Chain A
Amino acid sequence: MRPARMRKLRAVILDEKMDNVVRELHEEGLIELCDLTPKLEDPEWADLLSPSTPAPYIRDVSALLIKTNRFLDLFDSVKSKDEKGLKELLNPTLPPKKRITFSSADEIISYGRSLLEKVETDVKELADRLNELEGRINYLQQLRRYIEYLIDLDIDLEYVKSGPYTYVVVGLVPEDKISQLKERIFSTTDNLSEVIEGEPVITSENERKVAVILVTLKEYRDSVSGELRRSGFERIDVSNLKGTPKENLEEIDREIRECKGEKENILDRLREMANKWYKELLVLHELLEIEKERAESYTYYGRTERTYMLEGWVPEKYVDRVKATIERASQGYGVVEIVEPDEPEEKIPVMLDNPKPVKPFEMLTEMFAPPKYNEVDPTMLIVPGFLMFYGIMLTDTVYGLLLTILGLFVWKKLGKVSEGAYNIGYILTLAGIATVIAGIITGGYLGDFLKQFLGFDIYKTPLALVNPLGDSLYIGESNPLFNLGSVSINNGPIAILLFSIVVGIIHLFIGLVIGFKENLEKKGFKEAFLNQGIWLFLIIALAVGVITNTPCLIGGAVVVVILLCMVKGYMSGGILDAALGAMDITGFLGNVLSYARLLALCLATGGLAMAVNIMAKLLGESIPVVGILLAVIMLLIGHTFNFVMNGLGAFIHSLRLHYVEFFGQFYEGGGKKFCPFKAKREYTTVS
């Protein structure tokens, strides 16, 4: 019930053997390395050790990694969209793993080099040409846009060039400035100029502009350029073009078509290359990433002239394995020391250690916060409560079956590639089974579907124990369960409410007992009694009072508890806190009443399902012919909606009861998760 016990492992290893040790530890993945750098600030340590730098092969590895990424990006950009069919999406397959036998970074580097060389010879020419074509297409498209603006000017562009005495420019002018520009130009050039205008066009920036050709004498070039700049003239370069704009457009279109054709061709060939190399590049990428991580891990170690020292956390049960690994990998040139944790609690990493059937529920614990190293691991305690609450809140046999199927699917199919899906699927499957059980007890089969459509009232048969909306054969007006004081437990809702409250009190009691034990061990009896003991006393007094039917016992206990809370408040902060302490009992009451949501949500599912059935029946009966079709659609949509909404609600409210009410009694959390030094292999395997 506690996180796995940890040991600190220290090892000093001969430098020649170090790389082998790092490699083996990385594959094994059972140690979390500690960074020694902060320790080296201590002068005593600094005398012995100096900081270490990344392994020398990191430069080659990083360079190759960049190159690999470039090729992968290229292939990603040309690859036709992976048609991941629905089938693949619903039933993903794991990528095949390649067996790897490299035993040193150098081998991987030389393998990477030769592989990248091969890829490069295959791809380089194509990639360069592709770049060139893309540049050309861009240029042509730009040019085409400009020439389109000139289409009105039916002039051979070959003549639109400056001659020995003339200066000619082509370009666009904003429409509203054209007349002003013309005036200015005529005045600066003494009317020795000509301006040819086209029709106004709307440019891609959504401005109205006019294409103009301006001809003037060379000596006016500078003054005219100044005028043009002032009026926002945009020059178009036509110096390499021949023929009219119309002819040019045709020519450009033809060339764009050609370029695109060639580009398609090249893309096809690149795709072929991608099929050939992509997987191998992924393998190489993974290998290089792993090497990089190894090389970088050296910054964690300290070094002497001929040795490295490493420090790390190892779960107690793996200590012997890790020790043996280090001794084997260093061929005896290493010393290993294992000590009890010598650091404060919050520095020790936390690894939850639950048996396999409970393991997926660790997700729920971690969602709140992983426990501190010396705290209780509440995962085991969550399981029964969570499933039971979920079942009670969803309470419908058919919804439960649906949920079980959904959960199995997520667990078995999607869970293959994602750990999160595996955990969720597992939890939902169990929650589904719990819902089926709760559904059978309360006789919920799509709400009251049987009664509405088949006229079969399950609550008049012995098949259902309790009716959340009224009487059943076992619990009803004529057949009350028992009388509690003067309240008769004579219908379904009241019975479920009583059950919810009792379950809530038991749940809180368990939490309080654990908290009491924890506090007793760590802080002594006084803390344990003030924080948990008071409420334990109250619950016990309540139980005894109800069983023996002595209300005055309960009343007395409540008064004692209020007084104790005031004492507790007074001890922590004087009179004001004492007054506040008296209110503690409402907090406790709130915790207990909060469990009443079990009834409310249980009834909400059944009630909404019934509402759907009623509406569908009304539709079916009131509209002829198509009514039946509408009723079926109503049933499908309505029940799906109800299932999703209440399925989600049951999950979160179940969690809430644990996080707020249950954890509030004993659990704080806030530990640091154990994060082992481990090679992530998705496309490769070493065994």
Chain B
Amino acid sequence: MVFENPLLLGAIGAGLAVGIAGLGSGIGAGIAGASGAGVIAEDPSKFGTAIVFQALPQTQGLYGFLVAILILFVFKSAPEWAMLGAGIATGLAGLSAIGQGIASSAGLGAVAEDDKIFGKAMVFSVLPETQAIYGLLVAILLLVGVFGNSPGAAAIAALGAGLAVGFAGLSGIGQGITAAGAIGATARDPDAMGKGLVLAVMPETFAIFGLLIAILIMLGMMF
């Protein structure tokens, strides 16, 4: 194979997983945190709520960390290109945290005005996490060895699967913006929840395309 030490590509994958996902989570948590600071300035008792909303965009960073640990400690025998693909998938999809941060900050603003909307704001804020979950999903599938027996260079296709779901995961940013708008609409009219969800789920279509292509690539490798 290209590299003698299989963990070399794995290490790059682990780094990308933590690094890119951490970038997304950092920006997302920053956006949510700025809104949180504003809310706390008005009402210090909202500290707990602010923390919860700021925690949402941090999960992407955790997924990145998780995949890094999986690559380095658990699936050490997985094909090296799969490791790199898994890292890229989780890392890029983790950028959806930026969108989640936007949605969370809108959610926090709405909850600061009206406590009762907490549950609804939470549901909307968690929508842009789907992309990160798809990234994590593909990473796991790659690592558990759907490529186990593929010969040589064909395994590089794993990179394609990772890129597909990873870049498609950037749709999370758009979804976050829609979700933030839908939170505003729901705060004004609670009955808008159902329709707001339909609109906010729309950008997810592209994440599904990405996931689909990733799965097709993986299936193609197996047959």
Query: What is the distance, in angstroms, from B185's C-beta to the closest C-beta of chain A?
Result: 13
Residues of A within 8 A of B146 (CB): 494
Residues of A within 8 A of B130 (CB): 594, 597
Give the shortest distance, in Å, between A487 (CB) and chain B (any CB): 7
Judging by beta carbons under 8 Å apart, are A600 and B137 in contact? yes
Determine whether the beta carbon of B197 is less than 8 Å from that of A607. Answer: no
Known A-B contacts A597-B130, A603-B140, A645-B55; the reply to A368 vs B194 at CB < 8 A is: yes
Q: How far is the CA of A597 from the CA of B135 in the complex (A)?
A: 10
Decide yes or no: A645 and B74 within 8 Å by CB, A601-B133, A610-B69, A611-B65 being known contacts: no
Count of A-B contacts with CB under 8 A? 114
Specify which of A470, A486, A610, A660 lies most central, judged by the most chain B CB atoms within 10 Å of its CB.
A660
Interface assignment of A367: CB less than 8 Å from any CB of chain B: yes
- Contact status A493-B63, CB under 8 Å: no
Chain B residues positioned under 8 Å from A590 (CB to CB): 204-205, 208
Complex Cα–Cα for A367 and B136 (A): 29
Q: B22-30, B34-42, B120-128, B155-163: which one contacts chain A?
A: B120-128
Contact A660 B197 (CB under 8 A): yes
User: Across the interface, which residues of A come within 8 angstroms of B65, CB to CB?
Assistant: 608, 611
With A367-B120, A600-B137, A610-B74 as known contacts, state yes or no: A593 contacts B144, CB within 8 Å: no
Q: Are A367 and B119 in contact (CB under 8 A)?
A: yes
Total A residues in contact with B, Cβ cutoff 8 Å: 45
A601 to B133, CA, bound (A): 8
Which one, A369, A604, A614, A652, contacts B194 given CB within 8 A? A369
Partner of B222, one of A487, A586, A601, A653: A487
Give, as a whole number of angstroms, the nearest-CB distance from B205 to chain A. Answer: 6
Find chain A residues with CB under 8 A from B137 CB. Answer: 497, 596-597, 599-600
Complex Cα distance, B153 from A437, in Å, reads 43
- Interface membership of chain A positions 610-634, coded 1 if the CB is closer than 8 angstroms to chain B and 0 otherwise: 1100100000000000000000000
Question: Which of the residues B66, B122, B133, B193 comes within 8 Å of A607, measured between beta carbons?
Answer: B66
From B119, B144, B211, residue with most partner A Cβ within 10 Å: B144
> Would A668 and B140 be within 8 Å (CB), given that A487-B222, A586-B209, A656-B126 are in contact?
no
Can you list 28 contacts pairing A with B, beta carbon distance less than 8 Å? A368-B194, A369-B191, A469-B74, A470-B74, A470-B144, A486-B222, A487-B222, A494-B146, A497-B141, A586-B208, A586-B212, A594-B130, A600-B136, A603-B136, A604-B63, A608-B62, A645-B62, A649-B59, A649-B129, A656-B123, A656-B126, A659-B193, A660-B127, A660-B197, A660-B201, A663-B194, A664-B198, A668-B194
Q: What would 5 more interface pairs be, CB under 8 Å, given A368-B120, A586-B208, A590-B204?
A: A596-B211, A597-B130, A603-B140, A608-B66, A664-B197
Give chain B's interface residues, CB within 8 Å of chain A.
Answer: 52, 55, 59, 62-63, 65-66, 69-70, 73-74, 119-120, 122-123, 126-127, 129-130, 133-134, 136-137, 140-141, 144-146, 190-191, 193-194, 197-198, 201, 204-205, 208-209, 211-212, 219, 222-223
A-side residues, CB < 8 A to B, are: 367-369, 469-470, 486-487, 491-494, 497, 586-587, 589-590, 593-594, 596-597, 599-601, 603-604, 607-608, 610-611, 614, 645, 648-649, 652-653, 655-656, 659-660, 663-664, 667-670
